[in-house]
């Protein structure tokens, strides 16, 4: 099964360049105040990480959930005791081949999940760096957190996506 990535390809420059926007934002967690100023400057000059077309392709792939069957089979296998699973694999070659196919699917699926996690971590750092630009950052976080757990479901409708950017 050929694997095609739904994520934009990393350029050689971004893999090698320690000043690339993605690398810069992922280092923000351990930043000192001086590094924070540097990260803020880098964020100000950072290009978009990917295009709206890439964003829509990623969302479509997530909604399609092509990995759903493999994920459900994998979770089902976790409901079996280890001894039964080993016996089933040892007993039937056809079953063993199916398990090997599943293994390959899960490796690819895990890679896609790790890429998505990396993107979410990078954007979370970008958001934190942007909020650090505000003198009232602490009270902004307090106000957001005071709304409770339902804030996660409510945030998305409050952000409007236009043709070029996300705006309040």
* pLDDT mean across residues, the chain: 79
Q: What is the CA radius of gyration of the chain?
A: 21
The pTM of the whole model exceeds 0.95: no
Give the distance, in angstroms, between the CA of residue 57 and the centroid of all CA atoms in the same chain: 14
Would you state the pLDDT for residue 37?
A: 79
Q: How confident is the model at residue 22 (pLDDT cuts 50, 70, 90)?
A: low
What is the per-residue pLDDT across 124-149, written as a single tens digit (0 to 9) for each? 988 888 888 888 989 988 888 887 66
| pLDDT top residue among 159 and 80 | 80
What is the per-residue pLDDT across 55-79, written as a single tens digit (0 to 9) for each? 999 999 999 999 999 999 999 999 9
- Would you say 25 and 14 are in contact if contact means Cβ atoms under 8 Å apart? no
116 has a pLDDT exceeding 70: yes
Q: How confident is the model at residue 103 (pLDDT cuts 50, 70, 90)?
A: very high
167 has a pLDDT exceeding 50: no
SS3 39: helix
Q: Which H or E run includes 62?
A: helix 52-64
Q: How far is residue 6's CA from residue 156's CA, in Å, rounded to a whole number? A: 22
Would you state the pLDDT for residue 39?
A: 83
């Amino acid at each position: 099964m050929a694997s095609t990535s739904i994520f934009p390809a990393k350029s050689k420059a971004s893999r090698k360049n320690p000043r690339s926007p993605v690398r810069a934002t992922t280092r923000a967690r351990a930043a000192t105040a001086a590094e924070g100023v540097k990260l803020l400057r880098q964020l100000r000059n950072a290009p978009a990480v990917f295009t709206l077309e890439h964003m829509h392709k990623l969302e479509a792939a997530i909604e399609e959930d092509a990995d759903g069957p493999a994920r459900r089979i994998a979770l089902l296998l976790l409901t079996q005791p280890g001894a039964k699973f080993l016996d089933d694999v040892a007993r039937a070659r056809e079953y063993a081949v199916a398990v090997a196919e599943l293994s390959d699917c899960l490796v690819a699926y895990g890679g896609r999940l790790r890429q998505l996690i990396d993107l979410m971590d990078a954007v979370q750092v970008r958001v934190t760096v942007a909020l650090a630009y505000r003198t009232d950052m602490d009270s902004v976080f307090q106000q957001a957190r005071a709304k409770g757990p339902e804030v996660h479901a409510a945030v998305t409708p409050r952000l409007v996506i236009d043709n070029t950017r996300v705006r309040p």
